[in-house]
Structure 1
Amino acid sequence: MKRFLFISILIISSISLFSQHKARVMSYNLLNYTDFTPDTRNDYFKKVISSVNPDLLVVQEIKTEASVAQFLSSVLSSKYKAGAFIPNQVTFESNNAIFYKDSLFNFISNFPIIIPADPGTSERDISEFKLVHKFSKDTLIIFSAHLKASSGTTNEQRRLKEVIKLREHTEKLSDKANFIIVGDFNIYNTFEPAYGKLIETTTKNYFIDPINVVGVYNNSAFASIHTQSTRENSFGGGASGGLDDRFDFIMISQAVKDLGGIQFIDGTYTAYGNDGSHYNLSINFGSNTAVSKEIADALHFASDHLPVYADFSFEVSTSAGQSKNFPTNYSLHQNYPNPFNPTTTIEYIIPSGTRNIQDFSSSSSPRNNGINVTLKVYDVLGREVATLVDEYKTPGTYNCEWRIANSELSSGIYFYKLVAGNFSKMKKMVLI
């Protein structure tokens, strides 16, 4: 009996809690954003970004440090901070910047990968942003690139030159480094030398295209992944012609593709606002089944690019009986944004110490601490209109996105309710 008890204690003490914290990374070409950008355009950006609700926002075509400060104060909520800004060292144009939720991340550094310019040319630096996830303590490296624009062999070779310099840098990173690259690549097809160099596996620390589509993007077969242009007619310095190119990308490293640590969540790669039905059309032409009319208009007027985003999980672990990095109480937060249309995010917390009864005398392995969780939405008459979560959850903080398809529900007041064991909590939200 004593021997069995001793073994049981060893089993219990070796159990680990694993919680998946989700974070959304968004990349957006801001179309030459300056600190003189009018308030009307700021309002459009605000609508787009609050609807996506990214945890990390990486931008291209932002002019100066003053522009970064204005974007932070005029567009983003107080949840965000800006990472250190370093302008292009050669051209001082088309700069990159990063904004992050400081409740989730610590900003570490911004390192410019300088691309030496040939006579008569102006190459663009690639920014290396480094952040640490506060709960998992994992380091995420995000490269932001705005490669040389336009078609033709000369421009293709300049894009290749920029990518070669990037790959020389990534080859020096640890094999286990978690890194991704985002930005406006200006790549027209998967046969371009720059694209080939990004995914080349002959040297370590290559990039992986998570949606893995092969071909020439400028045709209707790729309509659902196009990101430029949001408008048929040119205005404000932007490109015209409607949606017909996939210029904006998110690519990941092998470490981010592999299980454990930081991991790309399959199926989350999104060209925001693209419903696949606007080939060669403005994003707000007619109906849009991906976003509301208000968001489609905002995407049209804010920039000539659509933003792209993807979700990543961060694995947080701690020994059983400990609560390191875990809250100790259940919590259901107010949805954000609220009021909303078409998308809102609901955050909830499952505390440490949550446990299903386990039979350690069974031959089957005991389940980690956790509990079955339901998150449901009801209308004002108490009718269930959506089940957002109904599954076993281990302790941690979770973000659940609710997206409303056009005409699925009428505008008005709705209630969302979290149930986990004996815990039950309900909050109100407004669909506009």
Structure 2
Amino acid sequence: MTHLKSSQGSANQQLRLSMVEAFVNDTQQLEEDAFVLFAGDFNIYTSTEPAYLEILDQTNSVAMADPINTPGSWNNNEDFRAIHTQSTRTSSSGFGGGAGGGLDDRFDFIMVSQNMMTDTNLKYKTESYKAYGNNGNCYNNNINDINCGGVYNQIIREALYNMSDHLPVVMELETDQEIVILDVPQHAVAQPFSLKNTMVSDLLTVYNPQPSNQDDSFGIFNTLGQEILQFKTSGNTTVLNVAQFAEGLYYISNKTSSQTLKFLKTF
């Protein structure tokens, strides 16, 4: 994750280049076939900028790729309106910072190591790279403008407008490897509490082999730290219905223990 120097001008371009060179130097410590993601606010205006070219230099020890391979001069260019990520607002007034000017820059990137374009062990999913919230019809406009409708609805775009002057960039990865699901025998638990499976779609089984008279209360939290559910164990085994949970990673903590477990909710 990185945040390269902002603003135009040769001096700022050189600073961005030096920051990228530091990343490239770090990758020299990795194996050539390492899976690498390099993402963040690059503040790059064009694909001819030295920093962008350095990232994609195929002679680097770990060769990188731009998943959407869309070179050009992205700044203030309507041809690239579908991949612009900044700014979500035409004015910065009232937000205590951030940029205005409307959606007209591709500043935010996720780069992948070249092997992730083809290696079935861990591979970029074709056409999954998105400027989240950008329907491709909001050039130089507020992201929440009613004329910017599409796949990303008004509620989502309102939230993005209020959240930041940048849009998130998202993509999907896929693998042909078997996902190992932890299956712990009920009476062979090494920790104070454990899960039957770490990947669930509907029912989550929690083992608490030593229920006590103390507070056996638990909380389930999402990756934002928000508590989604509280529950108490009933005996050694408690089964929870998590079918209504959104897809993603969740954490379970005990109110009186430092132990934290995690599980992946799938559909």
* TM-score relative to the length of structure 2: 0.67
TM value normalised by structure 1? 0.42
Q: Tell me the distance in 2 between the aligned counterparts of 1:231 and 1:225.
A: 16
Query: What 5-or-longer segments of structure 1 have no aligned partner?
Result: 1-143, 319-323, 338-344, 348-396, 401-432
Matched with 1:292 is 153
1:307 aligns with 2:168: yes
Asked whether the 8 Å contact 1:167–1:206 carries over to 2, the reply is: no
State the Cα distance separating 1:325 from its structure 2 match.
3.3
Equivalent residue, structure 2, for 1:325: 181
**Sequence identity (%):** 39
Q: Of 80, 85, 88, which aligns to 1:227?
A: 85
Match of residue 263, structure 1, among 94, 117, 123: 123
> Cα–Cα, structure 1 residues 152 and 309, in superposed 2: closer, same or farther, change >3 Å?
same
* Amino acid of the structure 1 residue aligned with 2:125: I
Matched residues in 1 for 2:53 and 2:248: separation?
Answer: 39
The residue type equivalent to 1:302 in the other structure is M
> What is the match of residue 222 of structure 2?
none
- Structure 2 counterpart of 1:190, from 25, 34, 47: 47
2:74 aligned partner: 217
Q: Residue type matched to 1:226 in 2?
A: H
Q: Which residue identity does 1:227 align to in structure 2?
A: T
* 1:267 Cα deviation after fit: 1.3
Q: Is the 8 A contact 1:170 1:206 kept in 2?
A: no
Q: Give the drift of 1:187.
A: 0.2
CA distance in 2, matches of 1:234, 1:317: 47
* Structure 2: distance between partners of 1:296 and 1:263: 29
**TM-superposition CA deviations, 1:230-253 (whole Å, max 9, x none):** 000113201000000000000100
Once the 2 structures are TM-superposed, how far is the Cα of residue 202 of structure 1 from its aligned partner? Answer: 1.8
More strand, by proportion: 1
Indicate conservation of the 8 Å contact 1:335/1:346, yes or no.
Answer: no
Mapped partners of 1:217, 1:296: distance in 2: 22
Partners in 2 of 1:269 and 1:200 — Cα distance?
21
Cα deviations by residue, 1:57-105 (Å, 9 ceiling, x for unpaired):
xxxxxxxxxxxxxxxxxxxxxxxxxxxxxxxxxxxxxxxxxxxxxxxxx
Query: 1:326 Cα deviation (Å)?
Result: 6.1
- CA separation of 1:335/1:249 partners in 2, compared to 1, >3 Å: closer, same or farther? farther
1:252 is paired with a residue whose SS is strand
Unaligned runs of 5+ in 2: 184-195, 203-242, 250-263
Q: Does the 8 Å CA contact 1:265/1:313 hold for their aligned counterparts?
A: yes
